[in-house]
């Protein structure tokens, strides 16, 4: 049958009708707030390229976590910026280091009311800015890095992280971390694998957020933007090694990858709306070129529609507030 029997516009006539027939919905519990804490700060430090986002102090991080709980946000992902860096990221293993202390502080503040996640990667902790240790030729040594990741994971689990996010794209990282957690008795600590993480031009503001020391790029270990099938291989490997959740990063330019992963994954799928995506919308809105609230909501809805069960977004708390209002 055709027009006039079929009039799809009948289901768009009113806001109530559109709500009733919506295929995809947003809820605060599906959102994860990435948050940065920098050692030695007495006041939160604004990140110029990410308006509204700061490097936190201990107190402001605790307040942000408590606010997330009040708003019904599902989780918080913590990134630490140490005062001192070295070639092997030693500060990442210090039980009293900035990230491990932040995990303890946030857990003490929110308990089990918020899923406390932490970044298992060396890029914030190394003086060269790479996600792993370097060999004599300056190439990231995959297997030497796995040993440090395993120790980092146990330190973060000891500090109280509910879930760990290995983001370095080292081969075998999920298996190494899972084995270390089991051996240390952390059988209930979840691993959210950055399974398909691409070398992207949209990470720029994040480099400012973590005061990255990186020279060059990470193309020898993060995925090539041209590749689609390879993402499924990466996800399958991480699942075989014990990943409890998998992630696609970035989200915006990789919605096809996200849809592919969502179609095949037997575990929950996350997507990370990264710093460059945030910065572009904020910049366009600041210039009056787009409606900020509408663009933020639509961008996250699009990620959910593509198949993400959960979305890491710097707007998590603000968006959750809007959703509660409506």
What Cα–Cα distance (Å) separates residue 210 from each residue in 38, 39, 104, 257? 8, 11, 20, 27
Assigned token pair, 141: 């040594």
Cα first-last separation, the chain: 37
- Could you give the CA distance from residue 176 to residue 191 in angstroms, rounded to a whole number? 11
What Cα–Cα distance (Å) separates residue 47 from each residue in 56, 73, 117, 208? 10, 22, 22, 7
Which residue, 17, 13, 24, 29, is CA-closest to 323? 29
Contact 321, 69 (CB under 8 A): no
Biggest alpha carbon–alpha carbon distance for the chain: 72
Respond yes or no: is residue 101 known to be catalytic.
Answer: no
- Could you give the CA distance from residue 317 to residue 33 in angstroms, rounded to a whole number? 7
Assigned token pair, 302: 């699009």
Catalytic residue among 62, 215, 249, 324: 249
For helices 58-71 and 316-325, give the axis angle rounded to 10 degrees: 30
Catalytic residue among 62, 101, 197, 215: 197
Contact 303, 273 (CB under 8 A): yes
Respond yes or no: is residue 249 known to be catalytic.
Answer: yes
Contact 103, 115 (CB under 8 A): no
Return the beta strands (E) in the chain as ranges: 31-38, 45-46, 54-56, 75-81, 115-120, 163-166, 190-197, 245-249, 269-272, 310-312
Q: Among all chains, which residue has been given the structure tokens 């857990």?
A: 107
Which residue, 82, 33, 71, is CA-closest to 53? 33
**Residues known to be catalytic:** 197, 249
């Amino acid at each position: 049958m055709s027009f006039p029997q079929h009039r799809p516009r009948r289901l768009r006539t009113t806001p109530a009708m559109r709500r009733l027939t919506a295929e995809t919905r947003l809820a605060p519990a599906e959102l994860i707030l990435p948050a940065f804490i920098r050692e030695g700060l007495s006041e939160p430090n604004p990140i110029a390229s990410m308006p509204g986002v700061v490097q936190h102090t201990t107190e402001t991080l605790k307040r942000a976590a408590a606010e997330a709980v009040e708003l019904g946000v599902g989780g918080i992902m913590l990134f630490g910026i140490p005062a001192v860096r070295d070639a092997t990221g030693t500060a990442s293993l210090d039980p009293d280091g900035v990230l491990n202390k932040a995990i303890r502080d946030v857990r003490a503040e929110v308990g089990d009311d918020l899923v406390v996640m932490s970044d298992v990667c060396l890029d914030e902790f190394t003086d060269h800015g790479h996600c792993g240790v370097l060999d004599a030729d300056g190439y990231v040594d995959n297997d030497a890095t796995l040993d440090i990741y395993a120790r980092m994971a146990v330190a973060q689990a000891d500090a109280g992280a509910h879930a760990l996010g290995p983001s370095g794209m080292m081969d075998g990282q999920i298996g190494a971390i899972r084995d270390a957690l089991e051996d240390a008795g952390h059988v209930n600590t979840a691993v959210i694998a950055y399974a398909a993480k691409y070398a992207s031009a949209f990470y720029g503001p994040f480099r400012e957020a973590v005061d990255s020391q990186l020279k060059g790029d990470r193309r020898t270990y993060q995925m090539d933007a041209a590749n689609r099938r390879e993402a499924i291989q990466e996800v399958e490997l991480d699942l075989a090694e014990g990943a409890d959740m998998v992630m696609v990063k970035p989200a915006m330019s990789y919605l096809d990858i996200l849809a592919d992963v969502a179609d095949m994954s037997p575990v929950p799928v996350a997507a990370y709306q990264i710093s460059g995506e945030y910065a572009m919308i904020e910049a366009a809105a600041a210039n009056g070129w787009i409606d900020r609230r509408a663009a933020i909501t639509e961008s996250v809805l699009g990620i959910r529609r593509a198949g993400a069960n959960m979305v890491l977004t710097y707007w998590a708390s603000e968006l959750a507030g809007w959703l509660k209002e409506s």
